[in-house]
Amino acid sequence: MRRRQFVAVLGTLGTWGSLGTLGGAGLAGIPRAVLAQRTPDVIFVPTAFETVTTMLKLAAVTRDDIVYDLGCGDGRFVVTAAKQFGARGVGIDIDPERIREARELAARTGTEDRVRFIEGDLFKTNISEATVVTLYLLTRLNLKLRPKLMRELNPGTRVVSHAFDMGDWQPEKTGNVGSSLIYLWRIPPRG
C-alpha cells in the first residue's frame, strides 16, 4: 500500500487508536515508520503578509527576539521577523513540502543566517528558547498546545495567534487586520 493511500485510510478511521485492523485486514506488511508518521493537523492556509507584519508588531518583536512559528508552513513569519525586525527565527512544521518551501523562501530573501526550519511535530519539539511564538492553528489545537506553552516558555514570552483564541485564557491585547482578529498573550509568572 502506498503512503498516500495509507494516509487516506487513516483519515477514514478518525484516530490513531483505531488501528487494530483495516477492514478486517491486519497491519502486517506496513512498515513501522509509515505507521509512526503523523500528518498535519490542519491544512496549510498562508497568512497574508499584512497580517504577518501586524502580528509581529503586536508582539513588539525586536532584534533581541527569537520567534518560533508553530506550524510554520512556507516560513513567512520567521523570515519576516528576520528581514523586517532583525530577529532570529525557528519554524516548525510536520510537512516536508512546507519545510522545503520555507528554506527556499529564506534563501530567496537572504535570511538563512537568521532562521532555521525543523521538520517535526510541534507538540514534541522543544520551544523553550522562544521569546515570541506565532500561531495560525485552530482553537482546539491552541488549547491542546497551551499546557506545553505554559510548561516550556519563560514568563513574559509573547504568544500571538491569527484568528483563533485560547479558550478561557484572556488575551492581553487583540487587534484587527481586515476582518481577521489577532490575539496576544504573555506567559504569566510561575507561582
Question: For the domain that residue 172 is a member of, what is the CATH number?
Answer: 3.40.50.150
pLDDT at residue 53 is higher than 60: yes
> Same domain, yes or no, for 23 and 94?
no
> Same domain, yes or no, for 100 and 154?
yes
pLDDT at residue 20 is higher than 70: no
Residue 38: its pLDDT value, please? Answer: 60
Q: What is the mean pLDDT of residues 137-141?
A: 94
Q: How far apart are CA 75 and CA 89, in angstroms?
A: 9
How many domains does the chain contain in total?
2
- Would you say 177 and 52 are in contact if contact means Cβ atoms under 8 Å apart? no
Q: How far apart are CA 142 and CA 47, in angstroms?
A: 17
- pLDDT > 70: percent of the chain: 79
Q: Element (H or E) spanning 138, and its range?
A: none
> Same domain, yes or no, for 128 and 166?
yes
Domain residues for 168?
A: 49-186
Q: What is the mean pLDDT of residues 89-106?
A: 97
> Same domain, yes or no, for 102 and 180?
yes
> Same domain, yes or no, for 64 and 158?
yes
Residue 191: its pLDDT value, please? Answer: 77
Select from 99, 104, 158, 87 the least CA-distant residue to 125: 99
- pLDDT > 90: percent of the chain: 73
Q: What is the mean pLDDT of residues 49-69?
A: 97
Of 32-41, 144-153, 157-166, the range with the lowest mean pLDDT is: 32-41
> Same domain, yes or no, for 73 and 111?
yes
Q: How far apart are CA 71 and CA 16, in angstroms?
A: 20
- What the block records as the C-alpha cell of 80 is 519576516
- Rounded to the nearest 10 degrees, how much is the dihedral formed by the CA atoms of 57, 60, 62, 67? -80
> Same domain, yes or no, for 60 and 122?
yes
Phi then psi for residue 190, to 5 deg, are -80, 140
Q: How far apart are CA 61 and CA 54, in angstroms?
A: 10
Cβ neighbors of 133 (< 8 A, separation 6 or more) are: 67, 68, 69, 70, 127, 149, 153, 157, 158, 159, 160
| Residue in the structure block whose three cell numbers are 498535519 | 40
> Same domain, yes or no, for 71 and 13?
no
> Same domain, yes or no, for 23 and 53?
no
Phi then psi for residue 151, to 5 deg, are -75, -45
